[in-house]
Copies of this chain bind each other. A is one copy, B any other.
């Protein structure tokens, strides 16, 4: 891999990473409890979508009436039980299942309904207290195909989650979460790290495809806890007061052989990136993952879903995980630690970049994701036709 390669101007365009997100995947759209009796407008990958709930089912439609353009999300489910949503303007009533108009309420039951009277439907599922929507240009795959195992298996993992809106391009946030080694720098004074071993820095990074083919695992080795720089001095700098509180000792990312995660559970990586834009960071214990799922909204807005996943360890374990989250993780990690990244990525000026050894994982992830992103099946398969070769 040629690390000296400098992507001038727009490195994302150069690698083909799309500005509004990687299509043809499931994404979390909304917490279930936020969708009540009123339809709800959401924006995902630049598309305006209305979610509504009727008779215990959830539907997702394009949020613009085919008739004269009113927002369906301002309409109502006038006929509970029918799985329909009526436009607020002239009562065009859409079947949630098909997106087809089945009645034009003010035009009368005999109104002709042309085939064009329909809006796009989105595959939607409710699972683990979240509403998931498939955004793309093909038939949806099963939701489970796109979920990391720890989310897909509620019997084995319980989950505490929240989300935060970032005012930035989603790709800047994805880079930030791709094990780009900013942690020992940006987070060195985070309260969460105060009593923990020092993050190693000056590591060498390597990546490997995951066994399931859906992403890559990041590995960092040969890190150090401090180093001497010519003309500058030691890093981390000696004078930083919070070093005093910090336990010394070499921090290892994860023992690749003896860590319980590896031995007991076969989890090979502490940090994984998966398609479409999911970054999993675990612990050597193998009992916890923070799963950070990026949802592109528009060119300068991104939602970061922060799923904390705890391996089920009986009732007491469950209580203690919740206590841990309420007393500590909720603010020390989900708030303060994460906001250090937010503070940075919201103040990056997109443009040329000069990649370095620390960015091996970033580049690897960009490449993997662009090479392996799901593609809609070709609609016009090329048929063998010898004479076509010369056609233009």
Contacts and interface: CB of A to CB of B under 8 A. Distances in A.
Interface of A: 4, 6, 48, 64, 66-71, 74, 78-79, 82, 84, 88-91, 93, 102-112, 114, 116-117, 175, 180-182, 184-186, 201-202, 224, 227-233, 235, 237, 343-344, 347-359
A354 to B, nearest CB: 5
B74 A347 contact: yes
B229 A103 contact: yes
A348 B228 contact: no
11 contacts: A64-B351, A71-B348, A74-B343, A90-B180, A93-B232, A104-B356, A105-B201, A106-B201, A108-B227, A109-B229, A111-B357
Contacts of A91: 185, 235
A114 B351 contact: no
A116 B6 contact: yes
Contact of A107 (B90, B109, B358): B358
A351 B84 contact: no
Contacts of A103: 229-232, 235
A175 B68 CA distance: 10
Nearest to A240: B78
A106 B358 contact: yes
B235 A356 contact: no
A229 B175 CA distance: 53
Contacts of A344: 70, 74, 88-89
A168 to B, nearest CB: 11
B353 A68 contact: yes
Contacts of A93: 229, 232
A136 B294 CA distance: 41
Contacts of A69: 348-353
A185 B348 contact: no
A16 to B, nearest CB: 18
A349 B64 contact: yes
Given A69-B349, A105-B201, A232-B79, A88 B175 contact: no
Nearest to A113: B356
A354 B110 CA distance: 17
A353 B6 CA distance: 47
A250 to B, nearest CB: 14
A381 B208 CA distance: 54
**When A and B form their complex, which 3 residue pairs have the shortest distance between CB atoms, in order from nearest?**
A108-B202, A106-B201, A91-B185
Nearest to A67: B354
A201 B106 CA distance: 5
A233 B68 CA distance: 24
B71 A182 contact: no
A88 B186 contact: yes
Given A67-B356, A105-B235, 16 more contacts: A4-B114, A66-B353, A67-B354, A68-B175, A69-B350, A71-B347, A78-B232, A78-B237, A88-B185, A91-B185, A102-B231, A102-B232, A103-B229, A106-B201, A108-B227, A111-B357
A230 B109 contact: yes
A182 B105 contact: no
A255 B307 CA distance: 65
Given A82-B231, A182-B89, A107 B67 contact: no
Contact of A68 (B88, B89, B202, B359): B359
Give the interface centre of A68, A74, A224 by most chain B CB atoms within 10 Å. A68
A348 B352 CA distance: 37
B356 A108 contact: no
Contacts of A102: 230-232
Contacts of A350: 69
A356 B89 contact: no
A219 to B, nearest CB: 16
